[in-house]
Amino acid sequence: MNFAVLVNEGPYQHEAADSAYLFCRAAIEAGHRISRVFFYHDGVNNANRLSEPPQDDRNIVARWSKLAEAHGVDLVVCVAAGLRRGIKDELLPPGFRISGLGQLIEAGIEADRLVTFGD
């Protein structure tokens, strides 16, 4: 099955970003495909390479980058939501790119399921 994922919450405010990442990893391990993860609203904060959690905490931003690199997952940050929160191309970690809402619509059309995490 081909999944697209929508992440609406930041990396450390709620469990949504962790749950989305764990869902993607589990789906890939089960033989499914994650075609795109779209970060919207506060979810764009998952794509801030300036994020530096303490050493004993999980690094959600780095997790997403590694997932993209290892499995070819397309990580898309909403341009409008990103700019409102100060996220620009130069702040993106490896594996992330900025684009518009059309990428979310396309992902929803092309995927078998669009799974949303966060409000």
Residue type, 114: L
**24 assigned to active site:** no
Which one of 16, 67, 77, 78 is the catalytic residue? 78
- The sign of the CA dihedral 113, 4, 6, 63 is positive
Q: CA separation (Å) from 4 to 13, 53, 82?
A: 22, 27, 19
Extract the tokens encoding 1. Answer: 């099955």
- Give catalytic residue positions: 78
